[in-house]
Structure 1
Amino acid sequence: MKAKSVLWLWLLLFSGVAWSLDASLSQYKLGSGDVIKITVFGQEDLSLTTKLPNHGVINYPFLGDISVIGLTGAEFEAKLYAGLKGDYLVEPSVSVTVIEYRPFFIDGEVKRPGGYPYQPGLSVNKAAALAGGFTERASKTKIFIRRENDSGQQEQLSAQSTDVVLPGDIVTVQQSFF
C-alpha cells in the first residue's frame, strides 16, 4: 500500500511540473529567430514553415504582410482564422506550432560562452552545462538573466541556478571574488 502512495505522489508531482511547463510555454510570445509551422487543415497551399525575421513580419497567402512578433501561438492562430474566414474559407482550422525556438545566450564564467538552441525545461544550471559548465571562478550567487518583458523592453533579473531560462534570454554568470 505504501508503494502505491509513493507512486501517486510522484505522479502528482510530475504532472504538476509538466503542467507548469506547458502553462509557461502556452504564454510564450513569438520572436525573431523562431521557426514556426502554420497548418490550415485541408489547404496545403496555405500551410507553410518559416523562420521569423528580425522585423517580425511574414507574407502570408491571401492576407499579405502580418506582424507576428510578440503574439502567442493562440493569438496568431486567431489572427489567421479571422483573416481567412469568410472571404477565403467557410470555417478554417488553423494551427500554429513552434518547430524550433530562438536560441538563448550564455556568457561570463562558463567554459564555452555563446548561443545555444533552446530546449523546453531549461534552467540556469542546464544552460551552463550546455556551455561546458561553470569555470572555477564562477559565482553561483551572481547570475543575471537579461530578458525582454511584455512591453518589449530589456530587463535584468537576478537569478539562481534553478531559475528558468527562456528563448532569447541572455544569461550572465559573473566572477566570484573567492
Structure 2
Amino acid sequence: METDRTSSLYFSLSAVLMVFVLMCSGVASADQLMSLSRYELGSGDKIGISVFGEEDMEKELILTDAGTVSYPFLGEFRVRGMTVGQLQKYITDKLKDGYFVDPRVSVSIKEYRKFFVSGEVKSPGGFSFEPGLTLEKAVALAGGFTQRASKKGIMVTREERGRAVERELTLNGSVLPGDIITVKESFF
C-alpha cells in the first residue's frame, strides 16, 4: 500500500515538474499543457516504457492502426484512448500480478502522431507535432497560405471521445496531435 502511494507521488511530482519546466521555457501554454496531460494515446504515437532496474523491459513502441502495443509478459493489448498515467498504472498493475514484486514503471511519449494540413496552403501534408504548436505555426510548416486562402474560418477536425468533431480555430488556437486542419478558399 505504501509503495503505491510512493509511486503515485513520484509520478505526480514528475508531472508537475515537467509542466513547470515547459511553461517557464515558453514551450507550451497552460491551456495546451492541460490538453496534453489529458492527451489520449492514438495510432501512430511512439511511446517509451521502462521498468526501473530491468533493462530488458525498456521498449520504444509505436501504436498500431488498431491502437495496440506488444510488451514483454503482457503480450498485445489496447492502448488507444488511455492517457500516459493510465497506461503506466495499467502496466504496473499487470506486472505486479505474478511477475514483479514492486515494479517502478515509467511511460513517456517519445513522438506524437502527426497532424495534417490541407486546402489553401503551399505544401499540404502531414507534419510532426511538438508541444506549443499553434494554428499559425502549423500553417507556416505547410509553407504558408496561398494567395487564395481565407485566414478566417479555418476548420480543424479533432477526435474527441472517439468521435471526429469539426470546429473553427483562430490563428493562435492550439493544434493537437492527429488534428486535420483545412484552410478554405477566400471568395474575395
TM-score using structure 2 length: 0.83
Alignment of 1:23 with 2:72, yes or no, is no
What is the deviation of 1:137?
Answer: 1.1
CA contact (8 A) 2:32 2:174 kept: no
Structure 1 outlier segments of 4+, above 6 Å: none
Q: Secondary structure at the match of 1:84?
A: helix
| 1:85-164 aligned within 5 A | 85-150=96-161, 152-164=162-174
Q: Which residue of 2 aligns with 1:69?
A: 80
Tell me how far apart the structure 1 counterparts of residues 43 and 94 of structure 2 sit (CA, whole Å).
Answer: 22
AA aligned opposite 1:168: G
CA distance in 1, matches of 2:113, 2:35: 16
CA RMSD of aligned residues (A): 1.5
Q: Percent identity?
A: 48
Task: Classify the secondary structure of the residue corresponding to 1:141.
Answer: coil
What do residues 23-52 of structure 1 show as CA deviations (whole Å, max 9, x unaligned)?
A: 221111111111110011011112200111
2:181 corresponds, among 153, 158, 171, to: 171
Higher alpha-carbon Rg: 1
Following superposition, the deviation at residue 156 of structure 1 comes to 0.4
Unaligned runs of 5+ in 2: 1-22
Structure 1 window deviating more from structure 2 (20-29 vs 124-133): it is 20-29
Q: Does 1:41 pair with 2:57?
A: no
Distance in 1 (alpha carbons) for counterparts of 2:153 and 2:147: 14
Q: Unpaired segments of 5 or more residues in structure 1?
A: 1-13
Find the aligned partners of 2:48 and 2:32 in 1 and give their Cα distance: 21
Distance 1:175 1:18 in 2: 30
User: Which letter does structure 2 place at the counterpart of 1:55?
Assistant: A
TM-score by length of 1: 0.87
Query: CA offsets, 1:95-136, max 9 Å, x none?
Result: 111111100000011100011111111111000000010111
Give the AA of the match of 1:39. Answer: S
